Chains A and B, each alone.
Chain A
């Protein structure tokens, strides 16, 4: 049986690399993209084939982390083995200008996926993209899995909520749900508004 993965944030830096990796491993990969009047799939264009063509393994669906029923529908339609939640309002500075939106997408968006998994009773595994921004005003150096969080931005605060709700659903409903706490990771595919790409 071919494994199926669902990726939120597939058009982003991490999502596009993950899609590549999973396709190489023989997965059928499904990605959620937000509708936009301008093109926003440049990082995955090289992976896309005509979906009607035989041998297409990458499929894109319109959706949004703010839309619970859309998320439920996609999960029940795709029936994924693995879900990777890499979608977010990912810019720390912008989160100060849009704190409510950031909380909705990065915090509650994670809950919406977990609830959809729980209600669907599909045995899917869930990966949450947690962030070193949760450590903010650091309580110890270096930071470990046991270091207390002290976020310093609406982005960090939203990610702390997402971290705990992931852990809570794992412990409460026995979901295979995990947090990968990633520290800054840069690449040529980093968004142009992030510091390393700005510098170059």
Chain B
């Protein structure tokens, strides 16, 4: 953007939106979990189907006083003007992050 001819504001996004739930399910695959969801509301828990172990639950400590809505960015202006577009898919990103974390854990 700083190498562009004119100074302009741009949105940089993927045009996609993904929930925490999707992230957990996708990440679970890399750690050999198959996550199933049980319970409702803040009692909902993500459980590993094979072992029955609770893998994830909700801590209201992290709730915000006001929440944001459905954030999805339209990147067509930057694509048209500067040719930018996202390169890494959601699944690839989860894979990259999981693999790095596995490396970290095995180092310790």
Q: Contact residues of A with B, CB < 8 Å?
A: 82, 92-93, 96, 125, 127, 130, 132-133, 135-138, 141-145, 152-153, 156, 163, 167, 170, 175-184, 186-188, 190, 195-200
* Interface magnitude class on chain B: 35 or more
A4 to nearest B CB, angstroms?
12
Complexed CA–CA distance, A197 and B100 (Å): 11
| A152 to B63 alpha-carbon distance, docked (Å) | 13
Beta-carbon contact of B13 and A141 below 8 Å:
no
List B contacts of A96 (CB < 8 A).
Answer: 64-65
Contact of A188 with B97 at beta-carbon distance under 8 Å, contacts A138-B70, A199-B27 already known: yes
Which 9 A-B pairs rank lowest in CB-CB distance, beginning with the nearest? A188-B100, A183-B13, A142-B72, A179-B9, A142-B74, A183-B73, A138-B69, A152-B66, A125-B2
Minimum Cβ distance to chain A for residue B75 (Å): 9
Task: Contacts A183-B14, A196-B23 given; indicate if A178 touches B96 (C-beta within 8 A).
Answer: no
Which among B23, B64, B93 is the interface contact of A199 at CB below 8 angstroms?
Answer: B23
